Structure 1
Amino acid sequence: MAVHSLLSVVAAIVVLVVMVHPHRAASASSRGRFGVKSVDQGDIAVTGLCTSATIMHAGYKCQEYHVVTDDGYIISMSRFPQGRNGEGVGSNKQPVLLQHGLLVDGMTWMLNSANESLAFILADNGYDVWISNTRGTRFSRRHLSLDPAYKEFWDWTWDDLVTDELSATIDFVFKQTGQKLHYVGHSLGTLTALAGFSEGNQVDKVKSAAMLSPIAYVSHITTALGNLAAKAFVGEITDLLGIAEFNPFGAPVSIFLKALCANPGVDCYDLITEMTAIRYGKLAKFDYGSARSNMEHYGQPTPPIYNMSNIPKDLPLFLSYGGKDKLSDVKDVQILLDSLRFHDVDKLDIQFVKEFAHADFIMGVTANNIVYNQMMAFFRNHQ
């Protein structure tokens, strides 16, 4: 890979890292709450996955929607209501919501051929497919009152994805279709769902949930860059650079990247495999940095823990994880599974794919036969 191309990739990834764990400004309380679940689709210019998707994969009907979260972020969602060239047309089709992981957007579900990409496989198999794009990604960079050019736009943590964004997207699909939905998450998309479900968030609107490369605990990350990135999520990156969004080719970023990649054992040529999605060590809410601040927000000196054992025991769960996954490490998945040990046995389907790494669950050319077919069988068993 050319040096310039490598730096472009690294820079883009670091930009997204900062987006996901933003700077908590003193003016955070000025954000307000909007209580809006949808927006007039005619009020916003149509931008989203559909243009790219129809160029890459002809024959699929694609629709764009926009959802406004309770904290005012406008989330782009794309819908594939039927399969290629109109296959699978019919009423009351089962909706499926796909939620991507960190460092990517909804395009992650359609990067391979139509026969290998989950979004199109589901559409061709008669599902009503919905794809969400997390706030801050290229298709969801709008807000009712905040401008992404200013740090106030980035004043959120992944906890807000749990409390606001997960709620808004699931609720929107439920109301649009009138049906409970199947949820599919990868990486960060599993983290937000597991955390949300543990607090009863939108569980009544979910028929089942499939977690690909599930992340809830990261005590056993084995890669150097993964550990560095996880520890950086306490905010040192934004404190170092002094801004929430920054020029990826500017001098401060260049210095940061060189320092990061100079650490022993860090391989900057394998960033997708190396990067992780959450803070190091435990699944807890945002730490405001002091016992006093945490008391103000939570009524206790330390951030509350998301308790995975609180996930409703009758919620059908499909968990698929890989033996070569350095982010969703096997030992960490076992901790998650232990917390689900009292889950209804007929509602928990666990798949271990020895040869799969983190990205194989969304980009592997064999994922269709190995993972997706079993996942769709799981869906059929829990209609």
Structure 2
Amino acid sequence: MAVTYIFIVVLGLQNVFINSGYAFGLLPFSGLKTIGDLLQLAKEFPKLIDEIQQLIEHDGLKQYRLGEDNEDKYLNATQLMHKYGHDAEIHHVTTEDKYKLTMYRIPGKGEPVFIMHGLLMSAVDWLTVGPHKALPYILAEQGYDVWMGNARGSSVDSRGHVYLSAEDDVARYWDFSWDEIGRYDLPAMIDYVLQETNRTAVKYVGHSQGTTSFFVMCSERPEYNEKISIMVALSPIAYMSHMESPLTKLVSPAAGAFGEIIRNVIGFHRLNPQNPLIEILTKIICGTTELATLICSNMNFLVSGFGIGQMNVTNLPVIFAHAPAGIAFKQLFHYAQEINSGEFEKYDNGPIRNLQLYNSMKPPRYSLEKVSAPVALFYKKKGDWFAGYKDVQKLRKKLSNVVDFYEIPFKGFCHTDFVWGKDVKELVYKRVLKLFKKY
């Protein structure tokens, strides 16, 4: 059955490409040339199916429907903050390469804390877990001055540009990966926060891509290490050759020159969650059961997986109303490249373009030895599909100033639980607060 699932998925992928005018199909170029290759990928999908089946058996659909009337589904970030008793501000910043970004702030008299979301998320996702568990609220109640960043393209109000339109200039606007987020977005937002607060350093919390972009920033622009008093990496990602996400593995061959063909010849520049591929994956992998369809239709869970141990099913309608956020295909392809190469390196544009940009046919590695800011690594040895334990260990060895290496003490804790888990306050955020008091 698993082989059938994955085989049909690959056929579906080919249909998506053929329907887009790319008649060569995906399979001959992808490296997935044997049934054995397909079977290796198929092994992981039943884990997702098993979790959904357990939810169904435990009245998951009934729990989901209990949350369908939650008005938080319809509230934006500032409305959520006001509803739960916090002042809220909106701030705007323009990057060096002319992207216009939006940040949210819960003002406080204490030290500034900058929080950065992960892939397929935006700043509002830190808030949707609720008033007593959301990290921004917890930090604000401790007196911190809380700032939430939005990466370019992630939310509707962070899709501005001085010259380009995200809708009309698709190829040019969406021509970025998490390299540009780390190289331009983070420095612009951090400098703005420091100027507004009259401080010299911020405390930084990043999840997933929010950690990747941080490592890019501090290796490519090492002067920013001095502007970080401590960085807490929730599910840290730099190396990815041991990640377990089957969907990401499925697209991993589409990196480098092939990825550039997909973007520039076919015209796939941004990932639209409502597309034929997602519909195929939802129907083939998860079936047509209502709850399974609801969960599998969300890209966050298809990419990252989930565990029922920390899933608040009643809160899923609120989560689904705000996630997934927008991303460029180039972000996904850059991660795919990391899986293939086993390195933490700049984007592979293909040999000719690489020569122009890097003076080398291959993309250079990021200099992680330049990351000198204190870094705490929060991880889960088993269960996190995106941040593989061996990859986190490799990252730890490369960093010169790891001040905490903490495994979440809960079986089945997964990638999205660092933001949406039922017990995230007890399992994760209390330790963050302890580190903040020390640094």
Q: TM-score w.r.t. structure 2 length?
A: 0.66
Once residues 376 and 211 of structure 1 are traced to their aligned partners in structure 2, the CA distance between those partners, rounded to angstroms, is 13
2:247 counterpart SS class: helix
Instruction: Compute the displacement of 1:145 (Å).
Output: 1.0
Counterpart position of 2:209? 188
Partner of 2:120: 103
Which residue of structure 2 aligns with residue 24 of structure 1? none
Which stretch of structure 1 is more off in the superposition, 234-243 or 197-206? 234-243
Q: Sort the Cα spacing of 1:231 and 1:307 in 2 relative to 1 into closer, same or farther, 3 A.
A: farther
**Change over 3 Å in CA distance of 1:274–1:307 after alignment to 2:** farther
Output the amino acid matched with 1:327: F
Q: Which has the higher contact order (CA 8 A, sep 6+)?
A: 2
Q: Which of 401, 404, 422 is the matching residue for 1:349?
A: 404
Structure 1 stretch 116-125 or stretch 162-171: which is displaced more? 162-171
- 2:22 maps to what in 1? none
Q: Secondary structure at the match of 2:114?
A: strand
Matched, 1:156 2:176: yes
Letter in 2 for 1:322: K
The count of aligned residue pairs is: 315
Residue identity matched to 1:143 = H
Q: Deviations over 1:244-271 (max 9, x none)?
A: 358765xxx42x3456668889998274
* Cα distance between partner residues in 1 of 2:214 and 2:405: 17
Structure 2 counterpart of 1:174: 194
Task: Note the alpha carbon deviations across 1:211-244, whole angstroms, 9 max, x for none.
Answer: 0000011111223212124444543653574243
1:117 paired residue number: 134
* 1:330 is the counterpart of 2:389: yes
In structure 1, the partner of 2:41 is none
SS of the residue aligned with 2:129?
A: coil
Q: Tell me: CA distance 1:248–1:263, structure 2 relative to 1, closer, same or farther (3 Å).
A: closer
**Shift in Å at residue 52 of structure 1?**
4.2
Tell me the residue number matched to 1:285. 346
List 4+ stretches of structure 1 deviating above 4 A: 245-249, 258-268
* Matches of 1:71 and 1:225, distance apart in 2: 32
For residue 191 of structure 1, give the secondary structure of its aligned residue in structure 2: helix
Name 2:424's counterpart in structure 1. 367
Deviations 1:305-340 (A, max 9, x none): 01323311xx21111011310111111111111223
Which deviates more, 369-378 or 347-356? 347-356
Letter in 2 for 1:94: E
Contact persistence 2:136–2:146 (CA under 8 A): yes
Structure 1 348/62 Cα, relative in aligned 2: closer, same or farther at 3 Å? same
How far, CA to CA, are the matches of 1:115 and 1:98 in structure 2? Answer: 17
Once the two structures are superposed, residues 260-300 of structure 1 have per-residue CA deviations (whole angstroms, 9 ceiling, x without a partner) of 6688899982742442662323221111111x321211122
1:189 & 1:220 partners in 2: Cα distance? 19
Aligned residue for 1:114, secondary structure, equals: coil
Q: What residue number does 1:17 align with?
A: none
Corresponding residue for 2:45?
A: none
Would you tell me which structure has more helix in proportion to its own residues?
A: 2
Residue 50 of structure 1, aligned match among 71, 78, 87: 78
Alignment partners' CA distance in 1, 2:273 and 2:434: 43
> Equivalent residue for 1:299?
359
Amino acid at match of 1:80: I
Distance 2:179 2:271 in 1: 23
- RMSD value, Cα: 2.7
Aligned to 2:438: 381
Partner of 2:229: 207
Moved more, 235-244 or 259-268: 259-268
* Maintained 8 Å contact 2:80/2:127: no
Instruction: Tell me the residue number matched to 1:198.
Output: 219
Three-state SS of the structure 1 residue aligned to 2:86 is: coil
Return closer, same or farther for 1:332/1:130 CA change in 2, 3 Å cut-off: same
- Which one is further off, 352-361 or 99-108? 352-361
Q: What amino acid sits opposite 1:120 in the alignment? A: Y
Distance 1:237 1:296, change over 3 A: closer
Shift in Å, 1:183:
0.6
Mark the runs of 5 or more structure 1 residues left unpaired by the alignment.
Answer: 1-13, 15-46, 83-89
Deviations 1:169-210, CA, capped at 9 Å, x for gaps: 111111111211001100000000012212315212111101
TM-score norm. by structure 1 comes to 0.75
What is the correspondence of 1:62-73 to structure 2 with a 5 Å cutoff?
A: 62-73=88-99
8 Å contact 2:262–2:268 — kept in the other structure?
no
Cα distance in 2, alignment partners of residues 358 and 365 from structure 1: 13
Q: Is the 8 A contact 1:75 1:135 kept in 2?
A: yes
Q: Secondary structure at the match of 2:158?
A: coil
Equivalent residue for 1:311?
A: 371
Percent identity between matched residues is: 31
Partner of 2:152: 135
Mapped partners of 2:244, 2:286: distance in 1: 10
* Runs of 5+ unmatched residues, structure 2: 1-15, 17-74, 305-331
Task: Check conservation: 1:61, 1:81, Cα contact below 8 A.
Answer: yes
Q: Does 1:217 align with 2:239?
A: yes
